[in-house]
A and B are shown apart, each in its own frame.
Chain A
Amino acid sequence: MNDTSSKASIVGAYESPRRQATRLHPFALQMECISGALADAGLSLSDVDGLCVAAGDWAEGGGVSSLTEFAEYAGIKPTYFDSTDVGGCSYIVHAGHAAAAIAARLADVVVISYASCPRWWPLNTPSFDPFVLPAGPGQFELPYGPTLISAYAMFAQRHMAIYGTTSEQLAKVAVTFRQHAANNPDARFRTPLTIDDVLGSAMIATPLRKLDCCVVTDGGGAIVMTSRERARDCRSKPVHLAGFGTAVARTQISQIDHDLTTPAAISGPRAFAMAGVGHADIDVAQLYDAFTITPMLALEDLGFCAKGESGAFVDDGHLTLGGMLPSNTDGGGLSSNHPGKRGIFTMIEGVRQLRGEGPGVQVPNAEVALVHGLGGTFCAAATAILTV
């Protein structure tokens, strides 16, 4: 085990049951989540000396100084802080950084929190689809009107053309995660889906249809991390951050790897190496699923199947109980919740699985969880391996 990673544990985790939080400011929702996570750990706000918040994006409530804004709102003066914002996986990145900070004794108790309220947020705060300005590099792309979804769609379209992946295989991802959501009382949608339901839903950006896209919910979550030593005194069963890896690769659509490799191919091996585990050791995975194509590319780049073979992997039922890699056991972003940057929820569900508390489907006796997120349109990636 790597020295840096093995010294930190997750001792608190809380996901808000809210899916609609009309007129509740995202900062207030974040505080609910922090309180929940601290209570889970048996700690209080006065124990917290580290704060990780990236709340400056649309509907997250803050501006470019969201960390100081939120620390003030919370009423704390943290000495370790991180507002790295590389999109949806930012909170997995924060966990990796926090582990290093805890090992270096820069921090003792770190809270990582997130909330966003896209269902009621009234301001057109700066967020240009897909997240860039029509200046500098963006001057060559924004004038064409690409949407965030169309960027993912171009990955999917190319994947279908060169590997023979089908719309049915993409749909199977949504259908599988909906099965997992059926038992999750908080999931946004729980009614079972069929492949035909997905194929019959409205086309958004070819080849992605409405049910290939994540749900849009308000929501939030938080985790609490501390040293393995201190974790022994906490209320809940500690989950160790055994390994993590991060990578950033690009932003503009034109800069994608010609073979569709995403930075998961960098973050994944680093996380596995640090944790000292292999693919066969992973009992359960949480794979960021903004769109059906998203976890498919993660499966390939993390090495769970060969490049181009994720369609068959999904089709064979490997993402559900009894398969090689039960994934998104809470229903994921495609069914449970997706306020915008859902990386925090992949961490929370990873923790719940290792405690035997999964609200959707529970993998029996899970001991090793892989949590993976991406940011932007496969621009950044973060992978964490959790153990008990």
Chain B
Amino acid sequence: MTALSSPVTDIVSDPFWKATQAGKLLIQRCPVTGRHQWYPRAHSIYAPEATPEWVEASGRGTVFSFSTIHRGNGPIEAPYTCALVMLEEGVLILSRLDGIAEEEVQVGIPVVVTFTSSPDGTALPVFRRREAQP
């Protein structure tokens, strides 16, 4: 099971995973429309003939939704909280919350990216609480 959950990287996603090792969260931007997209693809979903460009995300966002998993079926010890985070760039990304007690998690709380290392050496972007900007 553990092996199944490790990302199978590929030539399109290599820049993303290389950046996470350096503590950076990359997303893609359409060179035609300027719109951001998540998850990374070889083409722009807004202009399919165009190749998206990589840009560094601010790493800031808010919790769009979440679920604390009490009965898991994989290698991760429950409970843990998966969350959809709305990045400032306007894209939703699935991730996990780190260091936030279950009872403190709410839709709308501000979060910022941080990186955890997986057993296979991958640096995985997860999110922790941040103080809201005034």
- Seen from chain A, the residues whose Cβ lies within 8 Å of a Cβ on chain B are 128-129, 133-137, 139-147, 149-151, 153-155, 157-158, 161-162, 202-208, 252-256, 258
Contact = CB atoms under 8 A, between A and B. Distances in A.
B86 to A, nearest CB: 8
Given A139-B13, A150-B69, A133 B82 contact: no
A158 B105 CA distance: 12
A162 B70 CA distance: 24
B63 to A, nearest CB: 9
Interface string B107-132: 11000000000100010101000000
Given A134-B6, A140-B40, A158-B107, A145 B69 contact: yes
**Most A C-beta atoms less than 10 A away, residue of B69, B107, B124:** B69
A158 B68 CA distance: 13
Given A139-B9, A140-B39, A161-B106, A154 B65 contact: yes
A202 B70 contact: yes
A129 B5 CA distance: 10
Contacts of A149: 67, 69, 71
A142 B65 contact: no
B14 to A, nearest CB: 11
A100 B92 CA distance: 38
A206 B67 contact: yes
Given A161-B107, A204-B70, A145 B5 contact: yes
Interface in B32-67: 38-40, 64-67
Given A144-B95, A150-B67, A253-B84, 18 more contacts: A129-B73, A134-B5, A134-B8, A139-B10, A140-B38, A140-B40, A140-B94, A141-B94, A143-B5, A143-B6, A154-B82, A157-B66, A158-B65, A162-B107, A203-B68, A205-B67, A254-B39, A255-B92
B96 interface: yes
6 contacts: A140-B39, A145-B74, A145-B80, A145-B96, A158-B84, A205-B68
Contact of B69 (A134, A205, A254, A258): A205
Given A206-B68, A258-B92, A134 B4 contact: yes
Interface size class of B (residues with CB under 8 A): 35 or more
A90 B76 CA distance: 31
Contacts of B91: 254
Contact of A147 (B4, B64, B73, B126): B73
B102 interface: yes
A208 B74 CA distance: 19
Contacts of B92: 254-256, 258
Given A204-B70, A206-B102, A254-B94, A144 B82 contact: yes
A206 B124 CA distance: 23
A25 to B, nearest CB: 24
A261 to B, nearest CB: 14
Contacts of A203: 68, 70
Nearest to B92: A254
Contacts of A142: 4-5, 7
Nearest to B40: A140
A129 B67 CA distance: 15
Contact of A128 (B4, B67, B107): B4
A140 B5 contact: no
A146 B92 CA distance: 15
Nearest to B68: A206
Interface in B1-41: 4-10, 13, 38-40
Nearest to B83: A154
A134 B122 CA distance: 13
